[in-house]
Amino acid sequence: MYNPLALLDKIVLDGLISAGHAYFVRQTYARGNDPRMKEVLLLSPYLSKTAALAHYEAIAEDPRRYLYILEEHERLYRAAAQPSGYLVYVALLKERTWQPSYELAAKIKRYITSEAGWKPERKDEVQASLFIQFGELFITLKLNQEEIKVPLSDIEKL
């Protein structure tokens, strides 16, 4: 499974806190699976409590969900230290600009024609961008005036 997200570390956490993020939602992160680890988790930063609570409620079935507030900074820094047996990712891309891999680009092309029903001409450029919502990765596809948002997992199934 494709995983474009970065591991959490102290420098990233310091930057998020400096930028005003005071709430962090933890959840299970299957994309980062590593059989050598006990658990793989994802931390999503939020500026507002309202946005953090919306995410928290959206993942009600996740047994590892947790809402950190900045006052629990010791626990956040413990997570950023990557404790033994755990991987903790942050909802930020590893790379500044995202480009799909060759394999993923081929699946996007298949999705466009088979699922979206688009018939781009040779001169047309389909734009693809990645975003994260409530810990799930989505791809926005744009062709001329049309735009669709698709879970990355739907594209990966092709």
Span 98-155, pLDDT tens digits: 888 899 999 999 999 888 888 888 888 889 999 999 999 999 999 988 899 999 999 9
Least confident of 5-14, 41-50, 57-66, 107-116: 107-116
Looking at residue 130, its amino acid is L
Give the mean model confidence (pLDDT) for residues 82-101: 92
CA 12 to chain centre: 15
The Cβ of residue 147 has, within 10 Å, a number of other Cβ atoms equal to 10
| 9 and 86 part of one domain | yes
| 26 and 88 part of one domain | yes
Q: Range of 72's domain?
A: 5-93
| 126 and 70 part of one domain | no
| 111 and 67 part of one domain | no
| 86 and 107 part of one domain | no
pLDDT bin (cut points 50, 70, 90) of residue 44 is: very high
| 89 and 11 part of one domain | yes
**The predicted structure's pLDDT at residue 126:** 87
pTM, full prediction: 0.88
